[in-house]
Amino acid sequence: MTKREKIIVYLMVISLVYGFYIFFLEGPVQRPLIETRRSRLEAISEFINEIAKMTKGGLSEIDAYIIENISPKWTKDPLLKTTKPRGIFPAGSEIPDFLKDITYSGYLQMGSRHLAIINGTEYEAGEKLEKEGFTVGKIYPNRVIIVLRGGKVKHSIPLEETQ
């Protein structure tokens, strides 16, 4: 056995002897449960009293200035998603409900292939969308053309970028 192996075995034997002593000979240390809870409550109470003492003097000038200058309301909700009708339709036609739910969220170009990420799914030009009657027309980096009713109506959807 090398010197290194002897040292490792020696340390392991010492650890085993110490563990045996702790678990079997010494036994668990019994602490009264009530005193432990009481001391924890006293520590929490002392902490609260210290905080109360620190705030009795009132706010500092800097804290008061910060609180006064905080804007009361957000000017624009960053999580609000508005749905606006997009694209051009013939006069008198309504936007289909299915198009209200379409979001063009990404553009990929791999060589000569152009892919559009629509509602989380990748599509190439000419592929049909999830519902019948809707196909992907041309794909541009900033918009995608959706073709409706066999090519009679086309709808442009802009890329919705997330910040």
pLDDT digits (tens, 9 = 90+) for 64-100: 777 677 766 666 666 666 555 455 544 445 555 667 7
Which residues form the domain of 17? 3-55
Average pLDDT (17-22) is: 87
> Is 80 within a domain?
no
- Residue 25 pLDDT > 70, yes or no? yes
Please report whether residue 66 resides in a domain. no
In a domain, residue 63? The reply is no
Domain membership of residue 124 (yes or no) is yes
Is 76 within the bounds of a domain?
no
53 pLDDT above the threshold of 50: yes
Task: Specify if 12 maps to a domain.
Answer: yes
Which residue did the predictor score with more confidence, 160 or 136? 136
Asked whether residue 14 is assigned to any structural domain, the reply reads yes
Q: What is the pLDDT of residue 119?
A: 82
With CA atoms as reference, report the closest residue to 107 among 56, 53, 54, 161.
161
Asked whether residue 101 falls in the same domain as residue 51, the answer is no
Task: With beta carbons less than 8 A apart as the criterion, state whether 128 and 135 touch.
Answer: yes
- Report the pLDDT value the prediction gives residue 77, as an integer from 0 to 100: 61
**Euclidean distance between the first and the last CA atom of the chain, given in angstroms as a whole number:** 63
Give the per-residue pLDDT at 15.
93
78 located within any domain:
no
Tens-place pLDDT, residues 88-132: 544 445 555 667 778 888 888 888 889 998 888 889 998 888 766
Tell me the two tokens of residue 155. 């709808």
* CATH number where 109 lies: 2.30.30.830
Query: What is the number of structural domains in the chain?
Result: 2
Round to whole Å and give the CA distance between 39 and 119.
57
Tokens 């609000």, residue located: 80
- Are 102 and 152 part of one and the same domain? yes
